[in-house]
Chain A
Amino acid sequence: MNNSMTMNGGHSPGEVHSVRGYIFVFIALLAGTILTVWASFIQFGSREINIAVALVIASVKAFLVVAYFMHLISERKMIYLVLGFTAIFFAGLMGLTIWSLSPNSLIHIQNVP
């Protein structure tokens, strides 16, 4: 089997993606899944640390999928622009969520004396 292929169409001419590379990413994703489960059974001292560890592993797995399976690592500027706006709005959404958890945030109902 040919282990490399030349892309055309929506990708740069001459750009090469390796089938071996996809298989490596697949194995890394499987390993990441097992690592996530294993880490969840370890008590790191607080549940917050466990949550952080799980989310870091999930983020690495997500990066592998987006960068290599979805070819974002070699994508066009227009796609980066679309995703840049998405990232800003997503960060805003999560920022508002975290801000709303603060007892001093304006959305909390204040006790009337």
Chain B
Amino acid sequence: MDFPYIVEPRRDTGLYNAKLGIWLFLASEVMLFGALFSAYVLLRVGADPGMWPHGWLNVYIGTANTIVLITSSITTVMAWVSCKQRQFGRFKFFHALTILLAMTFVCIKSYEYHDKFTHYEITLASGKFADGHLVEKSKDFDLAKKTGRVTIHGYEVEHEVELMDMQRPEARNIHREEITIPATDIKKMERYGPWHHTYLAIYFTLTGLHAFHVICGALVIGFLWGPGSRMWKTDPERFTNRIEVSGLFWHFVDLVWIFLFPVLYLL
């Protein structure tokens, strides 16, 4: 059975099936991310005064990842243009670049996640707070049994609120050093995971969902670059449509990041 409008556009809509399908899908995606942006607004406005974090993420790493994603958008467009110009070799080149850039994005994001999961806020028995990245835990370290010690590379502050705004001028000049803290002096010790703060909860949710989209998009583009590209020999027009549709999804992923970057890293 042959399905109509797989390659040629319908006369009334001017669209082939997949094109209408991807735009309907992207419309649903707008609402998905829109709901999470709405949650972000509510969490941010609902935070106690001075308790919404600023400067918890590395702006330079975020900028690098933004440039990586924008570059992948132009390589995606160029891959489609190459198909339209019937230059299969150029298509292969540009989409190989897209896949490499997608992998680079995920690697950088993984590094950022790792950085957060090795970052600790330690509530000390004295009432002060120690904050920094884990250097080492002694073999006998057990917070429940109060044995051993932990070493972090960071600093101490009097109040938790001082850990929130890392963009303020004083925060930029904080001297970080290795601090060893015995378990007996620790009241509470928590990683910068999603459970640590509502900011991190929405950060991991938004960027995790976005990274999932990047991975899925890269898998589809990888398929079209590899085994799926066999269609080029039998039906180049249909294959070009597939590249266009996958490209539309990829640009949407880029679009979401364009808003995620300032909202999570800069504001």
A residues lining the B interface (CB < 8 Å): 2, 5-7, 9-10, 17, 19, 22-23, 25-26, 29-30, 33-34, 36-37, 40, 47, 50-51, 54-55, 57-58, 61-62, 65-66, 69-70, 76-79, 82-83, 85-86, 89-90, 93-94, 96-98, 100-101
B7–A26 touching, CB < 8 Å:
no
Q: Which residues of B contact A55 (CB under 8 A)?
A: 259, 262
Residue on A nearest B41 in the bound complex, by CB: A97
Q: How far is the CB of A2 from chain B (nearest CB, A)?
A: 6
Residues of B contacting A9 with CB < 8 Å? 7-9, 16, 237, 240-241, 244
Is B254 part of the contact surface with A, judged by Cβ < 8 Å? yes
What would be 15 A-B contacts, judged by CB atoms less than 8 Å apart? A9-B237, A22-B74, A30-B70, A33-B261, A37-B266, A40-B267, A50-B267, A58-B262, A62-B259, A65-B73, A76-B15, A83-B23, A90-B31, A97-B41, A101-B42
Residues on B lying within 8 angstroms of A by beta carbon are: 7-9, 13-16, 19-20, 23-24, 27, 30-31, 34-35, 37-38, 41-42, 45, 59, 63, 66-67, 70-71, 73-74, 76-78, 81, 84-85, 237, 240-241, 244, 247-248, 251-252, 254-255, 258-259, 261-263, 266-267
Which single member of A6, A54, A79 contacts B267 (CB below 8 Å)?
A54
Question: Do A78 and B14 touch across chains, with their CB atoms under 8 A apart?
Answer: yes
Give the nearest-CB partner of A34 in chain B: B63
Q: Of B241, B251, B266, which contacts A10 at CB under 8 A?
A: B241
B164 to chain A, nearest CB (A): 13
**Shortest distance from the beta carbon of A19 to any chain B beta carbon, whole Å:** 6
Q: How far is the CB of A17 from chain B (nearest CB, A)?
A: 8
A98 to B38, CA, bound (A): 9
Q: How far is the CA of A61 from the CA of B241 in the complex (A)?
A: 25
B74–A54 touching, CB < 8 Å: no
| Cβ B262 vs Cβ A90 within 8 A | no
Q: Measured between alpha carbons, how far is A76 from B248 in the docked complex, in Å?
A: 15
Task: A102 to B33: give the CA distance in the assembly, Å.
Answer: 23
